Amino acid sequence: MSIEICGISKSYGSFTALRDVQLEIPTGQLVALLGPSGSGKTTLLRLIAGLEPADSGQVFFNGEDHTHRDVRERGVGFVFQHYALFRHMDIFDNIAFGLTVRPRKQRPTKAEIKERVHSLLRLVQLEGLAHRYPSQLSGGQRQRVALARALAVEPKFLLLDEPFGALDAKVRQELRRWLRRLHEKLGLTIVFVTHDQEEALELADRVVVMNEGRVEQTGSPQEVYNNPSNPFVYSFLGRVNFFRGRIADGKVKLGEAEFAVDWASEDDNVPAVGYVRPHDVDVSRSPQYPQSVAAELIYVYNLGSVVRLELRRMDTGEIFEAEMSRRRFAELSLQSGDLLYVHLKHVAFYVGGHLIHA
């Protein structure tokens, strides 16, 4: 089932949570709403579910207007951040709840409910825990019970609010992979909220980057990571260095380095910012390119598979980071205090928040 959000705005008193949000979520995709806290992502999710009314705008499911339908009519599966399991019911009753509250005519028989609950328990790999209580389960198990409970009512799609937020790193990894497989198996449209860019990029078919109540960019993980449409998206998705400079005569000057760009504006000599990811910084012992910049190695961070260097530019004094493989690090036999030359590959230039093409 596809979801379409048209011009949705929402505020709480003087705080504007969502400003004129436009979003389309195609059928069967696994979509991440990614943004810092307060960016409106959870509000948007609750609005889709009908748990929160919109101030203005419309919500369509499969082209059908659902703006004024309440939660029960919308038939969506919602998984809460802290799972919201019914603490006084065992796992079986938790999962069966959505079926047992149906009007008598639509309610499955006891045997059917039992069958369905057990097949869901198999799906979430919690067979044998049917008669435990939520307080007797670990965080990861509770999360899976919450998913099974939401799936029991055969929802049109699944909405998950920070599904892995409260779990430790190892469980989080396992659950991510499990959710990915579940999505492939069920083919259900799934929208989840996260503030973790790694989680969004790893898991989602499509990432919706949000900030201050607006959708900043929508696209596949590769698109948003490789072609961020503005500085916010650039800096939110992964580590980034930024260098302040000026643009003049079709060239951006960042300290002593010059980069030719597609700039045909009347405004000359305006401030520009260059963004470079640490893995796009090439480090060598001697200058390899005309734009190479001299830098001093301040500190080496060993991160396991990669090595991160903290460097200071000799021309501007700006501090920045570079990443390289362990092998390359060993080849160069680097030590703090060494004088090095860096080449900035793939610099993205922004003037006043807009991307300038090189």
Partner 1 sequence: MTDTSEPGYVRWLLIAVALIFMGLFLVVPLIAVFSEAFSEGIGLFLQAVKEPDTLSAVKLTLLTAAISVPANVVFGVAAAWAIAKFSFRGKNLLLTLIDLPFAVSPVISGLIFVLLFGTQGVLGPWLAAHDIKIIFAVPGIVLATTFVTFPFVARELIPVMEAQGKDEEEAAISLGASGWQTFWRITLPNIKWGLLYGVILCNARAMGEFGAVSVVSGHIRGMTNTLPLHVEILYNEYQFVAAFAAATLLAVLALVTLVLKSLIEWKTEGQQRENEAMPEIIREASA
**Chain residues in the site for partner 1 (CB under 8 A):** 49, 51, 71-72, 75-78, 80, 82, 84-88, 97-98, 101-102, 135-139, 149-150, 152-153
Q: What's the closest the beta carbon of residue 131 comes to partner 1, in angstroms?
A: 14
Give 3 or 85: the residue with its C-beta nearer to partner 1: 85
- Minimum CB distance to partner 1, residue 101 (Å): 4
Residue 40, SS3 per DSSP: coil
Q: Give the nearest distance from C-beta 80 to partner 1 in angstroms.
A: 5
C-alpha span between 185 and 151 (Å, rounded)? 13
Of 128 and 317, the one with the shorter C-beta distance to partner 1 is 128
Backbone phi, psi, residue 23, to 5°: -160, 140
Alpha-carbon distance 73 to 274, whole Å? Answer: 49
Tallying the residues shown for the chain, one arrives at 358
* 83 phi/psi in degrees, rounded to 5: 70, -35
Closest by CA position to 20, among listed 60, 55, 45: 55
- 5: Cβ–Cβ under 8 A, 6 or more apart, which residues? 21, 22, 23, 24, 44, 47, 48, 57, 58, 59, 60
Taking each helix axis as running N to C, give the angle between helix 110-123 and helix 91-100, from 0 to 180 degrees, rounded to the nearest 10.
130
CB of residue 97 vs partner 1: minimum separation in angstroms?
A: 6
- Dihedral angle of Cα 57, 60, 63, 68, to the nearest 10 degrees: -90
Least distance to partner 1, CB of residue 87, Å = 7
User: Residue 80 or 289: which CB sits closer to partner 1?
Assistant: 80
CA angle 124, 152, 32 (to 5 degrees): 70
Of the pair 60, 97, the CB lying nearest partner 1 is at: 97
The residue among 88 and 327 lying less far from partner 1, judged by its C-beta, is: 88
What is the closest distance, in whole angstroms, from the C-beta atom of residue 134 to partner 1 in the complex?
9
Nearer to partner 1, 121 or 272 (CB): 121
